């Protein structure tokens, strides 16, 4: 009986190894595609039949260039987040929501997805949800910042109107009038140069 249990456990370990290796296959495919593209190895296929990487992907593997980009993007995301966690994506779909983010944000979102994963299982839907939350928060910060800039611009325009009104009140024969207008002119020219 013990021999059967031992053999069963060994078989389970072997089969789980197959599953683990299969889960990372998206990474290996993406890495291979990157190398084929970067080294232009697709041009060597069938005597130069393929002039473009996209043509190669379609002709040899029957997928379009956007699918190839997804797989190659998954490699970049995987490599980026692998350095900050022991839990890495097991499916290419888990990397898609991260691919649109900056590398630092990818690491933050993945870490948060791992920490908040329901029952400890990081699903593509959960990663998408966390990425969306983080993106919305970043967009709110941008909108708030833009509102502050707009408010500052509005206040500045009010001061400009007051300044113009005050400059218009200087009599034409006042000796300081030309000096005041030249100072304004110099300031405006300096601001235009900084653009």
pLDDT of residue 1 exceeding 70: no
The mean predicted confidence, pLDDT, of the chain is 84
Give a yes or no: residue 70 inside a domain: yes
Between the ranges 112-116, 144-148, 170-174, where is the mean pLDDT highest? 112-116
Give a yes or no: residue 183 inside a domain: no
Q: Which of 110, 146, 147, 144 is nearest to 130 (CA)?
A: 110
As a whole number of angstroms, the distance between CA 108 and CA 85 comes to 10
Q: Which of 119, 120, 126 is nearest to 110 (CA)?
A: 126
Give a yes or no: residue 75 inside a domain: yes
Give a yes or no: residue 145 inside a domain: no
Mean pLDDT of the 158-181 span:
76
As a whole number of angstroms, the distance between CA 39 and CA 151 comes to 52
- pLDDT (0 to 100) of residue 113: 94
As a whole number of angstroms, the distance between CA 126 and CA 26 comes to 19
Give a yes or no: residue 36 inside a domain: yes
Q: Which residue has the tokens 């994506």?
A: 89
Range of the domain at 31: 2-138
pLDDT of residue 160 exceeding 60: yes
Give a yes or no: residue 101 inside a domain: yes
- pLDDT (0 to 100) of residue 10: 83
Give a yes or no: residue 165 inside a domain: no
Mean pLDDT of the 148-167 span:
69
Tell how many helices (H) and how many strands (E) occur in the chain.
8, 0
The pair of structure tokens assigned to 111 is 């870490």
> What region does 64 belong to: left with phi over 0, alpha with psi -120 to 50, or beta?
beta
- pLDDT (0 to 100) of residue 138: 58
Give a yes or no: residue 151 inside a domain: no
| Total number of domains constituting the chain | 1
Residues 41-88: pLDDT tens digits? 999 988 889 999 999 999 999 999 899 999 999 999 999 999 888 888
- pLDDT (0 to 100) of residue 139: 61
Burial level of 187, CB count in 10 A (0-12/13-18/19+)? exposed
Residues 98-137: pLDDT tens digits? 998 999 999 999 999 999 999 889 999 999 999 988 887 6
pLDDT of residue 142 exceeding 60: no
- pLDDT (0 to 100) of residue 110: 95
The pair of structure tokens assigned to 110 is 């993945």
CA distances from 173 to 128, 170, 176, 177, 184 (A): 70, 8, 9, 8, 18
């Amino acid at each position: 009986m013990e021999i059967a249990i031992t053999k069963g456990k060994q078989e389970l370990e072997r089969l789980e190894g197959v599953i683990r290796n299969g889960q990372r296959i998206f990474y290996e495919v993406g890495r291979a595609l990157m190398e084929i593209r970067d080294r232009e190895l697709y041009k060597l296929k069938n005597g130069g039949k393929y002039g473009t990487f996209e043509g190669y992907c379609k002709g040899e593997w029957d997928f379009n260039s956007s699918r190839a980009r997804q797989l190659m993007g998954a490699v970049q995301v995987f490599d980026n987040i692998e350095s900050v966690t022991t839990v890495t994506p097991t499916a290419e779909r888990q990397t898609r929501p991260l691919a649109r983010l900056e590398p630092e944000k990818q690491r933050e979102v993945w870490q948060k997805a791992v920490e908040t994963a329901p029952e400890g299982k990081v699903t593509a839907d959960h990663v998408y949800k966390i990425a969306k939350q983080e993106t919305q928060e970043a967009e709110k910060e941008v909108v708030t910042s833009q509102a502050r800039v707009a408010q500052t611009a509005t206040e500045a325009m009010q001061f400009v109107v007051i300044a113009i009104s005050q400059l218009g009140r200087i009599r034409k024969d006042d000796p300081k009038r030309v000096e005041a207008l030249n100072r304004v002119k110099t300031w405006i020219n300096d601001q235009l140069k900084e653009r």
